[in-house]
Amino acid sequence: MMRIFTLSSILILLFLSSCSTLERGESTGVPLVIDTSAGVQVYDLTMTYKDVEFAGILLLNSGAQERNRFVLTSHFGMTVFDLETTAKGYKRHYAIPAMNRKRVLYLLWSDFSILMRPDFFKNIKYSYSEDGKLKSLVRSGSITKTEMSFIEYVDGFPNILEINHPFLKLNIKLKKIENADGVI
Amino acid sequence: MKRFSTFIITLAFTLCIAVLPEGVKAQDGRQTLSQAEVTEFTASLKKVSSSINSIESSFTQEKVLQMFSKKMVSQGVFRYRRENKLEFFYKTPMKYRMVINGPRMMIDNGSKVQIISLDNNAVVKEMKTLIQASFLGKLHELGDSYSISYFSERSGDVVVEVLPKIKSVSDMIKKISVTFDSSSFIVSCLVIEEASKSVTTYYFKNQQINTINNDEDFHIK
């Protein structure tokens, strides 16, 4: 928990430049990396900022009209944040005080929105494997430049997803939890 | 006439509830303990806990996610050793260890070990204080930072409800309920109600008392 405090405090200081304007693209046929048709998807999350690390369980759920829900809990049960995509951006249902900062939540929301729909924003470049699977993507930006990579595909979806903000030195690694029926 | 009858019945019912002594009021099948019962319970708890040097038990953690109408379930082993050592060893769905030993906490996720000083984090420190107070039978010594109420279940188990008054804690945790087994006075259940409206319940089973003879499980590298 202390790691979150430290992480968010540093993030706030680093978010000096403004975030990119949201521009939702039309569907471009970019393949999905999250199985949005299969209910709540559960991932083991590790968030690293330099040598500061936080681990938890991320739940992603695709709602009607893209009202996606992103919930992060600690392994010990505490809810860290609960965000929902809306027509105008996102709604914060809950965030622990240390993370309850507009730009921190915006960054997390934009990252997870890209995971739910890789063509969520326009300014993204894609890289594909020979069999047409999405291998990586880069969203240009100033300090919030985003790199994502997707590996270990099983049944058409990657088991390991990595989000990297090189200028922020922030890395988020997601590992799909197998047999999630036993978890939720 | 019918309205008058209804009024009288309602009034009588209300008066009955109002004049019942505090210790007899029913609340979801619970009864609030009277001051004498609280004194008796805390004395018994203190007596029993003074003979406990360690506890080892299996636990099941259930988190109810209202937003998804689903439940997340984790299981593992809980260990406590007097005076200030705790371990939560999660075995499913993922291996994960949290150890508290004195002023330090260690988190081991299998690939990386982190050591955190509790002195620098008021919230985690409060959580540690609460858990330790529960297992040491010192809830009544928590002081003015918490509002504490005592109830008895139909089964005879005693439930202690702890409401944090400190804003930094209450911004995250609204209420903690600790259930003590009626015969052993050992914690059998811990319920944490969060500000996020999520509820996490820890069930402790197969408690073994005084079986841990060394600090090996609590070692922080």
Structurally, chain A folds into a number of domains equal to 1
Weakest-pLDDT range from A17-31, A98-112, B133-147, B195-209 = A17-31
CA distance A94 to chain B (A): 6
Q: Is A27 helix (H, G, I), strand (E, B) or coil?
A: coil
Q: Taking CA atoms, what residue in B is nearest to A82? A: B196
Do A56 and A10 form a contact (C-beta atoms < 8 A)? no
Q: Is A146 helix (H, G, I), strand (E, B) or coil?
A: strand
Weakest-pLDDT range from B11-20, B79-88, B161-170 = B11-20
- Residue entry with tokens 């060394």: B214
A182 CB within 8 Å of a chain B CB: yes
Spell out which residues of chain B touch residue A60, defining contact as CB-CB under 8 Å: none
In a domain, A38, yes or no: yes
Spell out which residues of chain B touch residue A183, defining contact as CB-CB under 8 Å: 72-74, 93
Which token pair is A105? 């939540």
Q: How many residues does chain B have?
A: 221
| Burial bucket for residue B205 (CB in 10 Å: 0-12, 13-18, 19+) | exposed
* A residues 111..170 contacting B (CB < 8 A): none
pLDDT tens digits, residue range A25-78? 445 689 999 998 878 899 999 888 776 778 888 999 887 767 889 999 988 888
Do A114 and A120 form a contact (C-beta atoms < 8 A)? yes
What residues contact B129, with CB distance under 8 A and at least 6 apart?
A: B142
Q: At A104, which helix (H) or strand (E)?
A: helix A102-116
Q: Taking CA atoms, what residue in B is nearest to A73? A: B63
In the 8-state DSSP scheme, what is residue A63? -
pLDDT tens digits, residue range A106-127? 999 999 999 999 999 988 999 9
* CA distances in angstroms from B138 to B25, B56, B77, listed in the order given: 26, 19, 23
**Containing structural domain, residue A94:** 1-11+24-122+161-177
> What rounded mean pLDDT belongs to chain A?
81
Question: What's the pLDDT at A174?
Answer: 95
Which amino acid makes up residue B201?
T
Q: Taking CA atoms, what residue in A is nearest to B62? A: A77
Smallest Cβ distance to B98: which of A40, A76, A79? A76
Which token pair is A106? 């915006």
In a domain, A16, yes or no: no
Spell out which residues of chain B touch residue A5, defining contact as CB-CB under 8 Å: 121
In a domain, B217, yes or no: no
- Residue entry with tokens 């978010």: A15
In this complex, do A1 and B123 lie within 8 Å of one another by their Cβ atoms?
yes
Helix A102-116 vs helix A2-14: angle between axes, to the nearest 10 degrees?
100
A76 CB within 8 Å of a chain B CB: yes
Question: In which band, very low, low, confident or very high, does the pLDDT at B123 lie, cut at 50, 70 and 90?
Answer: low
* Distance (Å, whole) CA B203 – CA B58: 8
pTM over 0.90: no
Mean pLDDT highest for which of A145-149, B5-9, B62-66, B141-145?
Answer: A145-149
In a domain, A148, yes or no: no
Query: What is the ipTM for the molecules in this complex?
Result: 0.71
In a domain, A77, yes or no: yes
Does position B200 have pLDDT exceeding 50, yes or no?
A: yes
Does position A152 have pLDDT exceeding 50, yes or no?
A: yes
Buried b (16+ CB within 10 A) or exposed e, A139-177: bebeebebebbbeebeeebbbebbbbbeebebbbbbbbb
In this complex, do A75 and B168 lie within 8 Å of one another by their Cβ atoms?
no
Question: What's the pLDDT at B103?
Answer: 87
Average pLDDT over residues B26-36: 82
In a domain, B4, yes or no: no
CA distance A89 to chain B (A): 19
* Distance (Å, whole) CA A118 – CA A29: 9
In a domain, B2, yes or no: no
In this complex, do A77 and B200 lie within 8 Å of one another by their Cβ atoms?
yes
Mean pLDDT highest for which of A19-23, A95-99, A145-149, B51-55?
Answer: A145-149
* Distance (Å, whole) CA B127 – CA B100: 11
Question: What's the pLDDT at A13?
Answer: 33
Smallest Cβ distance to B114: which of A53, A71, A179? A53
The fraction of chain B above a pLDDT of 70, given in percent, is: 81
A55 CB within 8 Å of a chain B CB: yes
Spell out which residues of chain B touch residue A97, defining contact as CB-CB under 8 Å: 168, 171-172
Q: Is A129 helix (H, G, I), strand (E, B) or coil?
A: coil
Question: In which band, very low, low, confident or very high, does the pLDDT at A150 lie, cut at 50, 70 and 90?
Answer: very high
Question: What's the pLDDT at A27?
Answer: 56
* Distance (Å, whole) CA A106 – CA A90: 8
CATH number of the domain bearing residue B78:
2.50.20.10
Per-residue three-class SS string for chain B:
CHHHHHHHHHHHHHHHHHHCCHHHCEECCEEECCHHHHHHHHHHHHHHHHCCCEEEEEEEEEEEECCCCEEEEEEEEEEEECCCEEEEEEEECCCEEEEEECCEEEEECCCCEEEEEHHHCHHHHHHHHHHHHHHHCCHHHCHHHEEEEEEECCCCCEEEEEEECCHHHHCCEEEEEEEECCCCCCEEEEEEEECCCCEEEEEEEEEEECCCCCCHHHCCC
Does position A96 have pLDDT exceeding 90, yes or no?
A: no
Structurally, chain B folds into a number of domains equal to 1
In this complex, do A71 and B121 lie within 8 Å of one another by their Cβ atoms?
no
In a domain, A97, yes or no: yes
In a domain, A143, yes or no: no
A38 CB within 8 Å of a chain B CB: no
Question: What's the pLDDT at B133?
Answer: 77
**Containing structural domain, residue B114:** 27-206
Which token pair is B6? 């209804």
Mean pLDDT highest for which of A28-32, A103-107, B132-136?
Answer: A103-107
CA distance A122 to chain B (A): 30
CA distance A15 to chain B (A): 24
* Distance (Å, whole) CA A63 – CA A85: 9
> What rounded mean pLDDT belongs to chain B?
81
A77 CB within 8 Å of a chain B CB: yes
Question: In which band, very low, low, confident or very high, does the pLDDT at B135 lie, cut at 50, 70 and 90?
Answer: low
In this complex, do A61 and B68 lie within 8 Å of one another by their Cβ atoms?
yes
The fraction of chain B above a pLDDT of 90, given in percent, is: 40
* CA distances in angstroms from B120 to A4, A7, A72, A171, B126, listed in the order given: 13, 14, 23, 24, 11
Question: What's the pLDDT at B68?
Answer: 73
Q: At A75, which helix (H) or strand (E)?
A: none
A6 CB within 8 Å of a chain B CB: no
In a domain, A17, yes or no: no
